[in-house]
Structure 1
Amino acid sequence: MAAPVMDPQYLKEIEKARRDLRALISSNQCAPIMLRLAWHDAGTYDVKTKTGGPNGSIRLGDELQHAANSGLKKAVDLCEQVKERHPQITYADLYQLAGGVAVEVTGGPPIDFVPGRKDSMASPEEGRLPDANRGAKHLRDIFYRMGLSDKDIVALSGGHTLGRAHPERSGFEGAWTKEPLKFDNSYYKELLNNESDPELLKLRSDKALVEDPKFKRYVELYAKDEDAFFRDYAASHKKLSELGFISPPSKLSLKVALGFVIAIVAILSHYYEGHFSWNDLSSQFHKRFNLTDLASQFQKRM
């Protein structure tokens, strides 16, 4: 499917959808499942085959029925309420926007969001998402396949500060933290606390973060420095939400680029016809354009 056109109207709809998502997530207290939806749509990416990723395919029946996606139909249906009000927005953009808003409304860091993802009608094969029953090697296999790092693994695992596991969905039950609707660094504190509440959840994949020395150094950092966690989480979340995604240029940036090319052709034609010397050519460029300002304008519009 084609990528959306990044015109002012689309960007305006994104901001309206953001407001609607904030209200929806707050009123339904559904931040955890919205974050899970965004993660599971993006987390299928394969950097070698360039397949999967944040393309909205999780809405499709076959992918939604994957075991790892059990229970996510609720999140898909909630997002559909926003989609009906803003039909121009792709599902791919909507799901990733919802994940970022879910973090923000629960006290987490703002997540930089760049729109323009296109929807896919092809689902990846089952088995690309992490298995909670497995350890460090499995985590690396899964995240490295996406093109992510050890730091990304530990930072993104901090998303477990939100929500709880449900036995009918995963076979596990319980929350990872004492305040499962608050985004903070308590997940890491609980991982390092040998006397933590036995009712709190620690999956095999969670324990791997403190058993592996390379992972543990990030756990220790985030447990003592929430600002560091928020900074790294926001960066890793953005990376996850943009796997395989190249932001399309806006109509305005294309106009700027086209105008620049036309001007270059005009000036060069005068040069080759003998009207300008090389020094004159340089002078004409500076007269016609402030190249620093032009580059800055073009970058802002990309």
Structure 2
Amino acid sequence: MASATRTFTRALRTSARPAFSAAPRVAFRQGGRRFYSSEAPSKTSSSVGIWAAAGGALVAGGAYWFYQNGSSSATPKVFTPKFEDYQAVYNEIASRLEENDSWDDGSYGPVLLRLAWHASGTYDKETGTGGSNGATMRFAPESDHGANAGLKAARDFLEPVKAKFPWITYSDLWILGGVCAIQEMLGPQIPYRPGRQDKDVAGCTPDGRLPDGSRGHDHLRDIFYRMGFNDQEIVALAGAHALGRCHPDRSGFSGPWTFSPTVLTNDYYKLLLEEKWQWKKWNGPKQYEDKKTKSLMMLPADMALVQDKKFKEWVQKYAADNDLFFKDFSAVIVKLFELGVPFPEGTERWVFKTLQ
């Protein structure tokens, strides 16, 4: 089923999708099961749970990369990457997303999005520390934080891309990987601008800045308000749980949130409202399972979105309108991916073409 879903998904891609256009996605959803996108998968997928080194000097939104031409005495050349250079990086990532059928649901998309999310979600607006400007998860102790368990796979996946395009910083590469993942999994277009600088181990953030899936609405507000998000944005970001799944050997939790963990839709919100959820009886941490199939899961932090009145209002809006979800998700994920980045004034945002 996972392989058939990926094949059908690729067939739906078009060469020039307008932002938030729903035509291919509507066809996909209408061909689905139980009003959701696809049947329950039989394999496992990478967790994108939002709860659960050198670059160059960055100027005017692009990296000035110096290299030697020939002998060591040659005059260093200066390479200033343009849109088409970043598009080439995007294409390289996109071409490899489904190269390994044995990896979870057959796509590295969810784990790449989780890497970009966790690299950005450490931001503290009061101190100006953390955020996507630094890629400090390359170093311990940040790489060993519990919330980042399993993300070495995503970092390793991107290493050959970094080797092929050595001028791009890890910070920009990780975020570009997240942008690529969203768009290639039939999500909305995500505007991107480069300009992040890599930092050393001194830039590592303390543990505890990312959401804890076992906690409730007060915790969610504490975590996201610290970054500068409001209630609507918290719920919009949670829609990323349409993708991927949790693993017992990483977060401790187990299972996917939706029946189509490699296609971005508003199913996460529909399932929260329409399914009957019960506590899962197992030896792991407390989590919910759907009563009907027992193949889906929700975390306590997910259920908090329908238990809290203000959060639930937005869950209902996004469940009823996929286009609204895509519009708001695109806006808030761009905000997340740019937290803590001192972009030079006038830095242009780009929208990359999806892989054909």
Match of 1:83 in 2: 162
Q: Deviations over 1:10-35 (max 9, x none)?
A: 22432211111111223341111000
Q: Which has the higher contact order (CA 8 A, sep 6+)?
A: 2
Match of 2:244 in 1: 163
Cα deviation for residue 61 of structure 1 reads 3.0
**What is the number of residues matched between the two proteins?**
254
Gap regions ≥5 residues in structure 2:
1-54, 65-78, 101-106, 277-289, 351-356
Match of 1:70 in 2: 149
Mean Cα deviation higher: 59-68 or 126-135: 59-68
Residues 193 and 349 of structure 2 are in contact (CA less than 8 Å); yes or no, is this contact kept in structure 1? Answer: no
Cα deviation for residue 300 of structure 1 reads 6.2
Match of 2:81 in 1: 10
Whether 1:130 aligns to 2:211 is yes
Residues 4 and 90 of structure 1 are in contact (CA less than 8 Å); yes or no, is this contact kept in structure 2? Answer: no
Distance 2:145 2:347 in 1: 40
- The AA in structure 1 aligned to 2:299 is L
Match of 2:125 in 1: 47
Higher helix share: 1
Match of 1:292 in 2: none
Secondary structure of the structure 2 residue equivalent to 1:179: coil
Distance 1:19 1:300 in 2: 20
Gap change, CA 1:131 and 1:161, over 3 Å in 2: same
Secondary structure of the structure 1 residue equivalent to 2:263: coil
Distance 1:79 1:228 in 2: 32
Secondary structure of the structure 2 residue equivalent to 1:26: coil
- The AA in structure 1 aligned to 2:120 is A
> TM-score of the superposition, structure 1-length normalised?
0.80
Distance 2:239 2:348 in 1: 31
Q: Pick from 268, 282, 303: which aligns with 1:207?
A: 303
Residues 129 and 142 of structure 1 are in contact (CA less than 8 Å); yes or no, is this contact kept in structure 2? Answer: yes
Query: Following superposition, which runs of at least 4 residues in structure 1 exceed 6 angstroms of deviation?
Result: 298-302
> TM-score of the superposition, structure 2-length normalised?
0.68
Distance 2:108 2:180 in 1: 11
Q: Deviations over 1:153-180 (max 9, x none)?
A: 1111110101010000011100000111
Whether 1:24 aligns to 2:120 is no
Gap change, CA 1:300 and 1:160, over 3 Å in 2: closer
User: Sequence identity of aligned pairs in percent?
Assistant: 46
Match of 2:116 in 1: 38
Secondary structure of the structure 2 residue equivalent to 1:49: coil
